[in-house]
Amino acid sequence: MTGHPVGMLDSGLGGISVLAQALRDLPRENYVYFGDTAHIPYGDKEPQEVLRLTRQGVDKLIAHGCKAIVIACNTATSVAAQQLREELSLPIIGIEPALKPAALLPGEGQILVLATQVTLKLPKFQALMERYGDHAVPVPCSGLMECVEDGQLEGERVHTLLSELLSPYLNQPIKAVVLGCTHYPFLRNAIAAFLPAGTPLVDGNAGTVRQLGRRLEEEGLEAPPEQEGGQVTFLSSCEDPQTIARMQTMLQTAMNEL
């Protein structure tokens, strides 16, 4: 199993930001990435539907021989990760809004947590708020993920939407902004343009990949030393052949710019 790939899944293209982090930090591993682009977005679906779709995606990755699964989607993690850990024997690694590391940063002011409506409503995030949310402000970001899926990482559409989402909070000090959806790191520059220079933008990608590395080591599943690694296979539930090409382009963007 050590030579088998790691599986990653997301509702679409956002999890490619996590994939890029994994390629940098765990370069000897190979990866299979599944984007459930036929059913995007997950953020406005009922939890039972998100669980069903996530389970389907995990089954597809297991069929491709994956030795561990990263649920590179905050909504799917919140809904499905624990359930899948109880059902399966292989490591299941999730991601969550990086509220804890943001709260531990020095400084004063609000912590804006940008995420989907479903992520912000579910118990997993509510537990984070109870522990680290003294100065946190949840900001549901309807429409932001769709900009990334459409390849619009800047421009009028993105600027207008971010202005609507962020303007109510810009009249008070901001300590940090949590990018609580794996799509949002692709909008890092656009978001930063609304904030005072140097405002930290925190995502959960690095922490998720560290946890992946720990779990692979614990289970004796690390890639063998002689494996070159870095190979990526893209899969999609959408039959449009352009989708795979877009995934490859987004990976290059993530590797070069994030």
pLDDT tens digits in sequence order for the chain, 258 residues long: 888 999 999 999 999 999 999 999 999 999 999 999 999 999 889 999 999 999 999 999 999 999 999 999 999 999 999 999 999 999 999 999 999 999 999 999 999 999 998 899 989 999 999 999 999 999 999 999 999 999 999 999 999 999 999 999 999 999 999 999 999 999 999 999 999 999 999 999 999 999 999 999 999 999 999 999 999 999 999 978 899 999 999 999 999 988
d(CA 158, CA 18): 22
Nearest to 250 by CA among 133, 180, 153, 179: 153
d(CA 235, CA 200): 33
Let me know whether 116 and 130 are in one domain.
Answer: yes
Let me know whether 91 and 123 are in one domain.
Answer: no
Does 141 participate in catalysis according to the annotation?
Answer: no
Let me know whether 24 and 87 are in one domain.
Answer: yes
Element containing residue 244 per DSSP (H, E) = helix 241-257
Does 181 participate in catalysis according to the annotation?
Answer: yes
Let me know whether 209 and 86 are in one domain.
Answer: yes
Q: What's the pLDDT at 135?
A: 94
Let me know whether 91 and 209 are in one domain.
Answer: yes
DSSP 187: G
* CA-angle at 132, arms to 142 and 202, nearest 5°: 55
Residue at which a domain ends, from 156, 182, 202: 202
Let me know whether 154 and 218 are in one domain.
Answer: no
Within a domain: 150? yes
Domains in the chain, number = 2
**Which CATH number covers residue 174?**
3.40.50.1860
Within a domain: 164? yes
Let me know whether 84 and 115 are in one domain.
Answer: no
| pTM assigned to the model | 0.95
What residues make up the domain containing 232? 6-95+205-257
Within a domain: 177? yes
Nearest to 36 by CA among 4, 17, 8, 66: 8
Looking up tokens 């930001």, which residue turns up?
Answer: 17
d(CA 234, CA 10): 12
Let me know whether 68 and 194 are in one domain.
Answer: no
Q: How far is CA 24 from CA 100, 108, 122, 159, in A?
A: 23, 32, 31, 30
Let me know whether 154 and 61 are in one domain.
Answer: no
First to last CA, the chain: 31
Within a domain: 145? yes
Q: What's the pLDDT at 53?
A: 98
Let me know whether 74 and 197 are in one domain.
Answer: no
How many CA atoms lie less than 13 Å away from 200 in the CB half-sphere?
20
Q: What's the pLDDT at 55?
A: 98
Amino acid at 206: A
Residue at which a domain ends, from 184, 202, 220: 202
Within a domain: 112? yes
Nearest to 42 by CA among 62, 70, 15: 15
Q: What's the pLDDT at 9?
A: 98
Let me know whether 88 and 106 are in one domain.
Answer: no
Within a domain: 108? yes
Let me know whether 184 and 223 are in one domain.
Answer: no
One of 66, 141, 147, 181 is an active-site residue; which one? 181
How many CA atoms lie less than 13 Å away from 211 in the CB half-sphere?
17
CB 74, CB 187: distance < 8 Å:
no
Within a domain: 1? no
φ/ψ of residue 113, rounded to 5:
-105, 105
Contacts of 75 (CB under 8 A, 6+ apart): 11, 42, 43, 50, 116, 118, 119, 122, 181
One of 66, 73, 141, 147 is an active-site residue; which one? 73
